[in-house]
Amino acid sequence: MGRKQKLGRSITSAVVDTTKRKRSLLRRVLRLLKALFTLYSVQLHQHRQDIFSNLRHKWYIDDDTYRSSFDPHDALRKKGHMGYSGSTFFTTSDERYLIKSVPRHFENSFFKEDLLQPYEEYMISHVSSLLVRITDFLAADDVYKISPGILLGLAPSHHIIMENLLFGRDESEAKAKEALERYRNGSSAYASETVKEEQWKWETWDLKPTTYFFPERDIASGKLASEATKSRLADEFNDKLVLTAEQAKTFMNQLRQDTDLLREANAVDYSLFLVRIPKSKVVGIDQTKSQQDEPQNPFTDDAHPENDVSNPIADTTAPEPTTHPFAPPTPPTWRTGIESADGNYVYRAVILDFFWAKHKVRAKLMTALVNIWNKINLGGDKGPMSITTSSSEYQGRFLGMCEGFIEVEDVGEEADDS
């Protein structure tokens, strides 16, 4: 069994097997010996199970349903290395949950020791929060902390389990592709229409303020860093979120409340994970054409309206789940999808990666190094990095970034004017 399978099995076992066993002295000795020779199969446990059970209950996630997503016979899906921290990612086979390793001590210790209790209290009282919903925090059993796998960095010592904002993507894109193929293979009257694949693909961005000093990008114009390294920096969203005035107000108010919690916890460097889903117009036909000389639409099926491209939304619209882990509150929400004011897209968004705290040793060291660099002034004063600025300053730039994405389009007013 390879590394991927062993890591996945360790995660699954920690969630599914919740029994507490009393071990004899012999079993404890054998367990210690096993840990001394373990590279990947590190035994994990659910840290503060009481807290996360309480949160799952608040979010109407039934324990049996939750554990069923971690079917031991249906392996977790490896998603590779994503982001700059080098974390590994898995998803459950039903796509409901995303598992991210948190191998760096200063991050997992901050969440365990500083943020976990405030996070629980806040998420219980703010059901509409855009902070990502964390359903479990897995930590290596104490005896396995001496295992070669953890000491050598081959097996992460901690993992978080959270909602997967891309839930439904595979199903939605498969339906869109099928509808697109039917459209392309239709009669000559429709074959001339140009439909680009990008029109039905889900798009994602991991967004942080880009006005900070990033050594990989800003020293020597980025020539000293590889493209692979620079590709892991924050994305740029060169478009707009087209929202109604009410949607925009609610969105920004919620972001302010959520980042107030992070500011008080001294957290920085968090990001907005944004998903944009096309609203199924990719296979529509040009309704302005004259219908006199056109053949009957070969895709129309009164008995099966989902096969009718004159109403293509039935084919390719993203699913709007009303079950766990997306409720409460009742959809539509920024978790299930908010429709854009112009009707072209559905947006999803959450705040991710709030594990970097300014008062941890790693952050203090990085702050000192950046201050020395700016004092020497070899490349000009670059200012702070996103990981060395203050939590209040980061919150201000983060909110400014989000507000800058928004374009208000009040559909009601446009309708009145017309």
User: Does residue 277 register a pLDDT over 60?
Assistant: yes
Which is higher by pLDDT, 165 or 366?
165
Query: 3-163, which class in CATH?
Result: alpha beta
Report the range out of 198-202, 285-289, 291-295, 297-301 with the highest average pLDDT: 198-202
For the chain, the domains span 3-163, 202-279+317-417
Token pair 């907005």: residue: 272
Domain spanning 202-279+317-417: CATH superfamily: 2-Layer Sandwich (3.30.810.10)
Strands 406-408 and 241-243, sheet pairing: parallel
Closest CA to 139 of 48, 202, 50: 48
Which is higher by pLDDT, 173 or 303?
173
Q: The tokens of 42 are what?
A: 């590190």
Residue 385: the pLDDT is 72
Is residue 361 very low, low, confident or very high in pLDDT (cuts 50, 70, 90)?
Answer: low
User: Does residue 177 register a pLDDT over 90?
Assistant: no
In 3-state terms, the chain is what percent helix, strand and coil (to 5)? 40, 15, 45
Does 3-163 match 202-279+317-417 in CATH topology?
Answer: no
Closest CA to 140 of 161, 158, 127: 158
SS3 73: coil
The arithmetic mean of pLDDT across residues 135-143, rounded, is 92
Q: How far is CA 25 from each of CA 22, 29, 31, 37, 42, rounded to the nearest angstrom?
A: 10, 6, 10, 19, 20
* DSSP conformation letters of 179-232: HHHHHHTS-HHHHT----GGGTS-EEEEE--SSS--HHHHGGGGTTS-HHHHTT
Residue 300: the pLDDT is 34
Phi-psi group of 199: left, alpha or beta (phi > 0 → left; psi -120 to 50 → alpha; rest → beta): alpha
Asked if residue 363 lies in contact with residue 389, where contact means CB atoms within 8 angstroms, the answer is no
User: Does residue 418 register a pLDDT over 60?
Assistant: no
Q: ∠ at Cα 362 (358, 368), nearest 5°?
A: 80
| Per-residue pLDDT tens over the stretch 113-134 | 999 999 999 999 999 999 999 9
Which is higher by pLDDT, 314 or 364?
364
